[in-house]
Structure 1
Amino acid sequence: MGSNKGFMVVFSLLGSMVLMFLTIHEWYIHKQKTAQVSIKEQKLRKDLLRKPCADVNQSLVNLNKIDLNNFIVDDKHGILYCFVPKVACTNWKRTLVALKHGEPYPNPMSFKGDWVHQWGKFRFLRQLPKAEREAKLKHYTKFLFVRDPFVRLISAYRAKMQKYDQYFYDGYVRPILQQYKNQTNLPLSYKEAMEEGFHPSFYNFIQYIVDPQTETYAPFEPHWRQMHRLCHPCLIEYDFVGHQENLQEDAQQLLKILKLENAIKFPPSYENMTSGNSVMEWFQGVPIEDRRKLYKIYEKDFQLFGYRRPTELLDD
């Protein structure tokens, strides 16, 4: 009887070990397949960039003619990051700030969002002499993260039109309310304006963007400026193109390429992040003519970064 019990215990232990081995094996296979899919996906994304850019002179000489305001340099790890506002840029800046410290790296989330947006925390490509810029562009790992252009636009509206500070109130909210909502006698203080509930509608925001006078007066503010105009993918050959829609997986894959996957963890996404599922609802109050004008403005972003044309918004 005792020997039977012993046999059952041994058999049970063997069974558990076999099950554990199979689980680990399945996890390893899954990890390998995921890595293969990520490599294949990166190739597709980079190929997508090359086709429309084939006719563009990609000489680095042309970099003197463009702004490099959004390129952060990390000399310690050989990284060049072009940040796109409203595409996880706060969390990438947090990560880069953490990487400036020695190992073990601090948790990126320990750095406050307002703190990481202070320009003095980073070294920018625009600050470097021409020869040094060109050397880093050739040898460093260059990456950017992109997002569905219309979803990014909604996110920009939520962040800067519904919740604004004095800068955005003076430069954008107040003029939009005056021009497209015919509101007069607006408060001078953004706090007072917020308390009284002054906000442009999403349609007012779109009216402002599609108005030809907007770009004539000044370039788009970076939060809604086209992604290709911020990061110049036809002049700079990126090593990694991440998508916000696949943020955590892409971030992990990039950290692996940088040999940092075991040293630092990319912060989790915000719970209130703008979803692509509600795009139709946001655009219900926007006439189809203005939707089409808007698409023309952001069409190159859709094409370069592999986002489908939103036919449900643009076709009768």
Structure 2
Amino acid sequence: MSKARPWRLWLAVGFVFMVLLIIVYWDNVGTAHFYLHVAISRPHPPGPLPTPSPGPGKEPPDSRDAVLKRLFGPGTEPGDLPSRKPEPRPAAPGSNAEESVRGYDWSPHAAAQQPAAAAGERQARRRSVLRDFCANASLAFPSKERSFDDIPSYELNHLIVDDRHGVIYCYVPKVACTNWKRVMIVLSGSPLDAGAPFRDPLAIPHALVHNASVHLTFSKFWRRYGPLSRRLMKLRLRTYTKFLFVRDPFVRLISAFRSKFELENEEFYRRFAVPMLRRYSNHSRPPASAHEAFSAGLRVSFANFIQYLLDPHTEQLGPFNEHWRQVHRLCHPCQIDYDFVGKLETLDQDAAQLLRLLKVDQRLRFPPSYRNRTASSWEEGWFASIPLAWRRQLYQLYEADFVLFGYPKPENLLRD
């Protein structure tokens, strides 16, 4: 009998160890990997290309277009899309090249005023669109039906938490996230500037803003709280103010291409441009550095970038980079009920409204406004050389973002 006890003890220890391994695996890997190179809307049949839009006739009562027309009327939201190509603005002294290309307007000016009632109605419409389509069977995409518990921790790394003010921000690259991260640093009071918290968002260096160690994100909760992490995340989601900012999905892609491939970015050149040049431009031995490639006049084309996005092989190697990953994959809007949905197209008004909502507008201003040099009116020019079949496939890939955030389908790019 005494000999059996050590075996039972070892079996018990082994069982506990296996349970802990399963918990860690589940939290970091999740239940499944989802690839987005499939048709998104259920009405679309399977195949490499989406079918053309149905002809004239009555729309189903729960169709996406019917819901959008009921909420917004026949067009998009008033004021959501720029009406003309903005003028270039000078970059601030010392700002990096990417911020210059993005088109920051560093000149001080007051945010456009908007009646509180109108701002509230606009937010109500945006949140209603999200709720309706997350519950609507006419829109289907991978990961839509999973619960918050099914989202692995590494997919929650874009949710920045400020426990001092009870705020959660899901940052979306290419949507003024640099300045919103600056705001979150000021709110949280960390890190310190010469022993004191930063008070001016623009005083925070660009490199510090994008340093992952600076921000507390949901993906770090497991290390901090262990098995209690999910419970504490859900508590914050119930009680904190949650916000995100979005923009037209195709315009965001153009902006990502411009900032990452039209500048000498060594990291993006080696990680992404070199494989694109080899696979889509027949350059078997591209230059080893971005500087050499640019000096030789060799750059990735926008068509190469679209080929890369549409290639199923791309996500077999790993998820999309955050700069062109779909917003619903970054921020999980069908699992998280956001209190505020801002748009880059109405940034000035939305930023002012959000800071009032957070009750910090008297001591904090959003940094000088982002002037959207990559305007929606540029889409036709950028996509002119992209084959129609590719455009339709690309829309399928980003359709959920168009629909969930109330952006009109770019019919002019998708019809013969």
Give yes or no for contact 1:58–1:236 (8 Å, CA) kept in 2: no
Residue 164 of structure 1: how far off its partner (Å): 4.4
Aligned 1:149-188 pairs, distance under 5 A: 149-188=249-288
Name which of structure 1's ranges 193-202 and 39-48 shifts more when overlaid on structure 2: 193-202
- Identify the match of residue 242 of structure 2 among 121, 126, 142: 142
Give yes or no for contact 1:280–1:313 (8 Å, CA) kept in 2: yes
Q: Tell me the secondary structure at the aligned position of residue 52 of structure 1.
A: helix
Report the equivalent of 2:64.
Answer: none
Q: Tell me the secondary structure at the aligned position of residue 160 of structure 2.
A: strand
Q: Deviations over 1:12-33 (max 9, x none)?
A: xxxxxxxxxxxxxxxxxx96x6
CA distance in 2, matches of 1:41, 1:209: 32
Residue 120 of structure 1: how far off its partner (Å): 1.3
Whether 1:197 aligns to 2:276 is: no
Give yes or no for contact 2:278–2:285 (8 Å, CA) kept in 1: no
Residue 79 of structure 1: how far off its partner (Å): 0.5
Normalised TM-score (structure 2): 0.65
Aligned 1:1-316 pairs, distance under 5 A: 34-54=115-135, 59-64=147-152, 67-101=155-189, 106-128=199-221, 129-271=229-371, 273-316=373-416
Residue 218 of structure 1: how far off its partner (Å): 1.6
CA distance in 2, matches of 1:212, 1:60: 27
Larger Rg: 1
CA distance in 2, matches of 1:110, 1:66: 30
Residue 99 of structure 1: how far off its partner (Å): 2.0
Report the equivalent of 1:21.
Answer: none
Could you tell me which amino acid in structure 2 is paired with residue 269 of structure 1? S
Name which of structure 1's ranges 51-60 and 107-116 shifts more when overlaid on structure 2: 51-60
CA distance in 2, matches of 1:117, 1:162: 21
Could you tell me which amino acid in structure 2 is paired with residue 52 of structure 1? F
Give yes or no for contact 1:82–1:143 (8 Å, CA) kept in 2: yes
Could you tell me which amino acid in structure 1 is paired with residue 171 of structure 2? F
Of all paired residues, the percent bearing the same amino acid is 45
Q: Deviations over 1:15-57 (max 9, x none)?
A: xxxxxxxxxxxxxxx96x6211110011111110111211655
Give yes or no for contact 1:105–1:263 (8 Å, CA) kept in 2: no
Normalised TM-score (structure 1): 0.85
CA distance in 1, matches of 2:235, 2:156: 15
Could you tell me which amino acid in structure 1 is paired with residue 199 of structure 2? P
Could you tell me which amino acid in structure 2 is paired with residue 48 of structure 1? V
Give yes or no for contact 1:88–1:244 (8 Å, CA) kept in 2: yes
Could you tell me which amino acid in structure 2 is paired with residue 203 of structure 1? A
Report the equivalent of 1:14.
Answer: none
Give yes or no for contact 1:156–1:224 (8 Å, CA) kept in 2: yes
CA distance in 2, matches of 1:76, 1:65: 22
CA distance in 2, matches of 1:190, 1:45: 41
Name which of structure 1's ranges 37-46 and 208-217 shifts more when overlaid on structure 2: 208-217
Length, aligned pairs only: 286
Give yes or no for contact 1:176–1:204 (8 Å, CA) kept in 2: yes
Residue 284 of structure 1: how far off its partner (Å): 0.7
Question: Judging changes above 3 Å, is the alpha-carbon distance between structure 1 residues 74 and 91 closer, same or farther for their aligned structure 2 residues?
Answer: same
Q: Which runs of 5+ in 2 are unaligned?
A: 1-111, 138-143, 191-195, 222-228
Residue 191 of structure 1: how far off its partner (Å): 2.4
CA distance in 1, matches of 2:371, 2:123: 26
CA distance in 2, matches of 1:89, 1:65: 21
Question: Judging changes above 3 Å, is the alpha-carbon distance between structure 1 residues 214 and 105 closer, same or farther for their aligned structure 2 residues?
Answer: closer
CA RMSD, Structure 1 to Structure 2 (Å): 2.1
Q: Which runs of 5+ in 1 are unaligned?
A: 1-29
CA distance in 1, matches of 2:165, 2:294: 43
CA distance in 2, matches of 1:213, 1:179: 11
**Higher helix proportion, which one?**
1
Could you tell me which amino acid in structure 1 is paired with residue 230 of structure 2? K
Give yes or no for contact 2:149–2:230 (8 Å, CA) kept in 1: no
Q: Tell me the secondary structure at the aligned position of residue 123 of structure 1.
A: coil
Could you tell me which amino acid in structure 2 is paired with residue 39 of structure 1? G
Residue 212 of structure 1: how far off its partner (Å): 1.8
